[in-house]
Amino acid sequence: MLNAALAGFGLAYVPEDLVAPHVIAGSLKRVLEDWCPPFPGCHLYYPSRRHSSPAFSLLVDAMRALARRVSFKG
C-alpha cells in the first residue's frame, strides 16, 4: 500500500510510523486528519488457538508490558 501511494495510485491507510519519513520529505501528505485520530499503541492479530507456542506467548506478554509502560508515560 505504501509503495502504491508513493507511486501516486491513491490513498493509503497505513501506520504513521511507516509514512513519517515520507511525510517529512514531502512525498506524501496526510489527508482526512479529522477522521483518523491518533492511536498510541499497536494491534496484534493472531489466530485463536488453544495451544500457542511458548515463543509466541512470550511475544504477546512483552507487547502487553510495553503497552503498559508507554501508556503510563503519556
What digits encode the pLDDT tens for the residues 6-31?
999 999 988 888 899 999 999 999 99
1 and 24 inside one domain:
yes
pLDDT at 4 over 90: yes
16 and 31 inside one domain:
yes
25 and 47 inside one domain:
no
Mean pLDDT within 41-68 = 81
Domain that holds residue 33: 1-38
H/E stretch holding 72: helix 54-73
pLDDT of residue 66: 83
**% of the chain beyond a pLDDT of 70:** 89
Structural domains in the chain (count): 2
Contacts of 18 (CB under 8 A, 6+ apart): 2
25 and 51 inside one domain:
no
pTM: 0.56
d(CA 40, CA 7): 28
pLDDT of residue 5: 95
24 and 50 inside one domain:
no
End-to-end Cα separation, the chain, in angstroms = 30
Q: Which amino acid, one-letter code, is at 52?
A: S
